[in-house]
Structure formats: C-alpha cells, structure tokens
Amino acid sequence: MARARGAARERLAGTPWSLNSTVPGSWLRGRQLRLDRATTAALDRALERGGITMRGYDRVLRIAWSIADLEGADRPGTEELGQALYLRTG
C-alpha cells in the first residue's frame, strides 16, 4: 500500500494532488495522463450506452490508476480498467 501511494505521489509531483482519489477527472482525461483509445474502449462504450455517467467514468479512471499502482505498473491497461469498471458497476 505504501509503495502504491509512493508511486501516485511521484507521478503527481508538481501538481496540487498526491493521491489518485483527489485528482480531477478532467486532468486524468487530459494530456498528462490520457490513456489510449484501445485501453479505454470498454469504458467509453459503457459511457456511450449510459451504463455510467461522466462522473462514474472519472471514478473508474481513478480506481484503475490505483490498481495499476498496487500492481507496480506504470499506467493502467485494459485489465486494470476492466477491474475498475467491474468494481464500479458490479
């Protein structure tokens, strides 16, 4: 857990945030941390179909980044986003 928090703190250095849970969704979707379309395809479909709201989309991104940090990955992939989406929509 401490390693994951350290990874988030390092990635977010120079920003006002140090935890994934506090990063605004607009910043996660922005240039700095934007994930490629292939990675976010399932999440994008859920949004288009009304399965989640934009607020939910951002929450899934935060969770996916946290999962990636816990796994020691540099950034979330399709598996982490899938896990996060499942946790969100159950």
Instruction: Note down the domain range covering 45.
Output: 2-89
pLDDT tens for residues 17-59?
999 999 999 999 998 889 999 999 999 999 999 999 999 999 9
What pTM, to 2 d.p., does this model score?
Answer: 0.93
Confidence tier at 88 by pLDDT (50, 70, 90)? confident
Average pLDDT, the chain: 94
Q: At what angle do helices 54-71 and 78-89 cross, to 10 degrees?
A: 130
- Predicted local confidence at residue 1, as pLDDT: 85
* Domains held by the chain: number: 1
8 Å CB contact between 18 and 12: yes
* Structure tokens given for 81: 């986003």
